[in-house]
Amino acid sequence: MSNWQPHTIDRNLLLSFLRFLYRICDRLLESLDLSFNYFSEEQALMPLLELMRLDKLMIYGNPLLGPTGEDPLRSYIDAFVEASYEARSGFTDRALEVRQRVEV
Amino acid sequence: MNERSYKSKNVPKSLNSIQSIVLELNPNQPSIDELSAKRKQKLHQPLILRTPQYTKGLSSNVMSAGEEPSENIALDGFALLEATGMNFPDDGRQVKLNGKNFNSVVEPDLAYFTGLLFLDLSDNFLDIECFATLPRLKELRLAYNRISNISDLSFGFPRLQYLDLSYNSLTVNSVEALAAIPNLKELDLCGNNLGGLPRNMSSFLKLEKIALEQNKIDENGIFITLSRLPTIRVICLAYNFLTRIPAEACSDDHCFR
């Protein structure tokens, strides 16, 4: 006799689905302005990649963007930007807008 | 090289006789980027130059910076009524009385302003507590009022959604007292010399936006504190002394939920 039961769902599948919902729905932060602080390395920002609803991140004026505090070519934060694309792929279409240049 | 001609009736005759003006690009002139950086630098000049008091100090009929008037200048019902532009106090919806040096409030008069929605009393010497009884107030601006301590606000501000307390001298305990405002959605605490925030921010049940620009926050643990705000959407922490985001702030236990 088969052990198959109609209401049994693979536990791992359920957990990953709940985790997916959790990541999409439960984190509300949309905008974070960290401009003109003292962030000096990309690693210091990496935890933010967990925040799937985060749309705007202002980081200009920080030492990690080089001596001018602006990095229009994203040469200083390319690893962070790339990691943000990777972290979001499969979860959301919304890209993280990183503002690394002072807007007049 | 650009060449343009200018002629106008409003300029002196000697200038009208000029046929053309040649504008040459000076190689030593700063680039657009440099100019914008300089302009931005100007915008971000020290706090004292950007506060309303500085602007106030430019006019001739006011006192020197930060000086409280020696006599009692009370905000009463007549001043409020005049500012609303209405005939009856309960018709008044908004009041803007900036820089009038008010240092006290005739509280019984406020009871007549039952329809007041917007109140801007920035750049005075007033406390927040006396406005707690305004039943329909949605937006209160008390920037630069030299407020340092806030006592119990329980049962006050039933409909307040936006509160501007920027450029005061609030303490951490005072910030904690603001959690008693039941419907607060936006809170502006810029320029308060705050070194941190109360440990328990979860009491701000409906807060969606918090501005903490130009404080003296140097504890990276602030992100963990802020992550406990249950409905926060927008955080401004510009011009502080932060160096990193703690992983715990974005982990499953906190995670800005």
In a domain, B155, yes or no: yes
- Is the Cβ pair A45, B245 closer than 8 Å? yes
Q: Which of B238, B243, B245 sits opposite A36 (nearest CB)?
A: B238
Alpha-carbon span B199 to B175, nearest angstrom: 11
Structural domain includes residue A21: no
Q: Contact B216/B194 with Cβ under 8 angstroms?
A: yes
Is B66 contained in some domain?
no
Chain centroid offset of residue A48 CA = 5
Residue B245 region, left (φ>0) first, then alpha (ψ -120 to 50), else beta? beta
- The burial class, CB within 10 Å (0-12 / 13-18 / 19+), for B55 is middle
Quote the pLDDT of residue B99: 93
CATH code where residue B233 lies: 3.80.10.10
Nearest to B243 among A39, A61, A104 (CB): A39
How would you write the pLDDT of chain B (257 residues) with one tens digit per residue? Answer: 444 444 444 444 554 455 554 444 555 555 546 654 554 454 444 444 434 443 333 333 344 456 777 788 999 999 999 999 999 999 999 999 999 999 999 999 999 999 999 999 999 999 999 999 999 999 999 999 999 999 888 888 999 999 999 999 999 999 999 999 999 999 999 999 999 999 888 899 999 999 999 999 999 989 989 988 989 999 999 999 999 998 877 765 555 54
Q: What is the pLDDT of residue B29?
A: 54
Compare CB distances from B245 to A26, A27, A47 and report the shortest one's residue: A47
Q: In terms of CA atoms, which chain B residue is nearest residue A58?
A: B238
Q: How sure is the predictor about A73, in pLDDT bands with cuts at 50, 70 and 90?
A: confident
> Which residue range forms the structural domain that includes residue A47?
28-99
Quote the pLDDT of residue B2: 43
* Confidence at residue B162, expressed as pLDDT on a 0 to 100 scale: 97
Q: Is A36 on the interface with B (CB under 8 A)?
A: yes
Residue A56 contacts residue A20 (beta carbons within 8 Å): no
Q: What does the pLDDT read at residue B248?
A: 76
Per-residue DSSP letters for B190-230?
A: TTS------S--TT-TT--EEE-TTS----TTHHHHHHT-T
Give domain status of residue A38, yes or no.
Answer: yes
Does any domain span residue A64? yes
| CA–CA–CA angle A66, A69, A73 (5° rounding) | 70
Looking at the structure of chain A, the number of domains it has is 1
Whether B93 and B29 map to the same domain: the answer is no
Residues B142 and B206 reside in one and the same domain: yes
d(CA A28, CA B250): 11
- Say what the pLDDT of residue B19 is: 54
Q: Is residue A19 part of a domain?
A: no
B152 and B30 in a common domain = no
CA A19 vs CA A14, A15, B218, B252: distances in Å: 8, 6, 33, 10
Of chain A, the percentage scoring pLDDT greater than 70 comes to 73
pLDDT of residue B55: 38
Residue A86, domain member (yes or no): yes
Note the pLDDT of residue B59: 36
Contact B228, B251 (CB under 8 A): no
Q: Taking the model in full, what pTM does it have?
A: 0.74
Q: Are B8 and B80 members of one domain?
A: no
Are B213 and B236 within 8 A, CB to CB? Answer: yes
**Residue B197 in contact with residue B172, Cβ under 8 Å?**
yes
Chain B residues in contact with A36 by the CB 8 A cut-off are 44, 238-239
B155 and B246 in a common domain:
yes
Number of folded domains that form chain B: 2
Most distant CA atoms of chain A, gap in Å: 73
Is residue A17's pLDDT more than 70?
no
What residues contact residue B242 under an 8 Å CB cut-off, 6+ apart?
Answer: A34, A37, A38, A39, B217, B218, B220, B222
A48 in contact with chain B, both atoms CB, cutoff 8 A: yes
- Report pLDDT for B52: 42
Q: Do B245 and A48 touch (CB under 8 A)?
A: yes
Task: Select the more confidently predicted residue: A95 or A30.
Answer: A30
Domain presence at residue B78: yes
Query: Does the ipTM exceed 0.85?
Result: no
> Could you list the residue range(s) of the whole structural domain that residue B25 is in?
2-58
Interface test with A, best of B232, B234, B240, B253 (most A CBs within 10 A): B234
Contacts of B196 (CB under 8 A, 6+ apart): B172, B217, B219, B221, B222, B225
Flag if A50 and B255 touch (Cβ within 8 Å).
yes
Q: Do A37 and B239 touch (CB under 8 A)?
A: yes
Do B136 and B219 belong to one domain? yes
Nearest by Cα to B213 from B238, B234, B194, B233: B238
Output the average pLDDT for chain A: 80
Q: Which of A79, A25, A80 has the alpha carbon at shortest distance from A49?
A: A80
- Please say if the pLDDT value at position A39 is more than 50: yes
Beta partners for B3?
B22
Q: How far apart are the first and last CA of chain A?
A: 73
Instruction: Identify all chain A residues contacting B252, using CB atoms and an 8 Å cutoff.
Output: 22
Of A77 and A11, which is predicted with more confidence?
A77
